[in-house]
Amino acid sequence: MTNSPKRAEEPTVPSQQDLPADMEGAVVAREASGRNTAVLVGFTALSNLADGVMKIALPLVATSLTSSPALISGVMLTLSLPWLLTALHVGVLVDRYDRRKLVWAANGIQIVVVGVLVALAASDALTLPAIYVCGAVLGVAEVLAMTSAAALVPDVVAASGRERVNSWVAGAETVCQEFAGPFIGGLLVGVGASFALGATFVGYTLTAVILVFLVGRFRVAVAPDEVTPPVHAQISEGLRFLWQQQLLRVLALAVAVLGSCWGAWYAVMPLYATGPMGLSAADYGLLVGALGVGGILGTVVVGPFNRLFGRRWAMVCTVVLTSVLVVAPALTTQVWVVGGAAFLGGMGGTLWTINVRTVMQTLVPMQMMGRFGAVFRLFAFGAIPVGAGLSGLLAEWFSTPTALAVFAIGSLVVFVPLVRVFTPEAEADIVHRLQQP
């Protein structure tokens, strides 16, 4: 058995000439890909800005309610646990229904829940249980929004343009969720929790508006006489597809390990940064912003890096840089060292995100994008609550540096399998597919 993907095992996507009449909207969407790309990038920027403020604000608000590392890490746990519990079923929804409408539904949930949080904060009635419950609901909405939005990309962008679009989208995610969002969130929490939460309310409202300008139909076409399989059968189909693709299977393993490391970092750093490191809430926002600055550089260098070294080594580099991100605060409380490691981790994370999305969109047929995307994100984001919960317990039982050191060492276990399976031959096959019209 060879390490490169077998084309015979992969479903083929019909050409435009073979598309049924009810997929005419998808063709129109592709013809308007420039406009749709601008809409998707704008949507990504606004939604991730709101997410970035929220994911900084809620843990920082929690530090004013408790000093327990385990309880504070529970905030990240509730925000990310829905990826483990709902991702597979959401993937089926994305392949069955209009993807833009599903994003709107997620936006509606976010607006309502954040409105509740703003009201509680304004009346000084915000408690840890309320944060946990609202965080869990927001987590479900995030699963629905991200899975649906990611499945839209192959609908509106030709294969040859996906790496460029993925770079723009990843850049918007990085700038807004990892730089601007944390910075603004840290500043607003310093003013008051209601200000920070109110900003996310405005952000989620604007994301719902911008999607109005998206052109085309965003639902997988189904023949009139086709019988829709049961939900469990479609979930099984998505899992089987992942299992049959060796490269995608190893990438899923790698992203699970890397996701657990990021979950651990985000879970224990709020208390560690505002405690032993001596940072204020605004300073912590800047520290997290270093991730975003590195991510911005990643979007700039990904093209030249891929051309010089190959997509394969860009993704291998991410494993090393993630280990650097996690191990730095385990070794020192010097803010410049930890911030520098965050910068490198952010750059590596963006290199990974852009390249893995391009690989997925190349190897996965459009009619499978929702389910496969959900399965893949189950590994990626489902690992975040595992890392968050485990790191919180390790920090509680031992120390935060010990917890981070464990994850730094653990991140390196995927280095060998990734190098062995993502061979030069597999990379050449992906490059060949990307060159197709």
In a domain, 83, yes or no: yes
Residue 337 has pLDDT above 90, yes or no: yes
Mean pLDDT of 219-248: 70
Mean pLDDT of 369-374: 74
Residue 13 has pLDDT above 80, yes or no: no
| Closest C-alpha to 296, from 348, 230, 341, 260 | 348
Alpha-carbon span 371 to 272, nearest angstrom: 38
pLDDT tens sequence across 290-330: 887 888 788 888 888 888 888 888 888 888 898 999 999 99
Q: What is the CATH number of the domain that holds 412?
A: 1.20.1250.20
In a domain, 12, yes or no: no
Q: 6: Cβ–Cβ under 8 A, 6 or more apart, which residues?
A: none
Region for 124 from its dihedrals, namely left if φ exceeds 0, alpha if ψ lies in -120 to 50, beta otherwise:
left
In a domain, 225, yes or no: no
Amino acid at 143: V
| Closest C-alpha to 312, from 429, 412, 230, 182 | 429
Note the pTM of the prediction, 2 decimals: 0.64
- Domain tally for the chain? 1
- pLDDT-derived band at 26 (thresholds 50, 70, 90) equals very low
pLDDT tens sequence across 127-142: 889 989 998 999 899 8
Mean pLDDT of 12-27: 43
Alpha-carbon span 54 to 200, nearest angstrom: 6
What pLDDT does 224 receive? 53
In a domain, 2, yes or no: no
Residue 369 has pLDDT above 80, yes or no: no
Question: What are the angstrom distances between the C-alpha of 58 and each of 78, 147, 267, 270?
Answer: 11, 23, 11, 10
Q: Compute the half-sphere exposure of residue 304: CA atoms within 13 Å on the CB side of its CA.
A: 5
In a domain, 252, yes or no: yes
In a domain, 9, yes or no: no
In a domain, 13, yes or no: no
In a domain, 10, yes or no: no
What is the extent of the structural domain holding 77?
A: 21-220+230-434
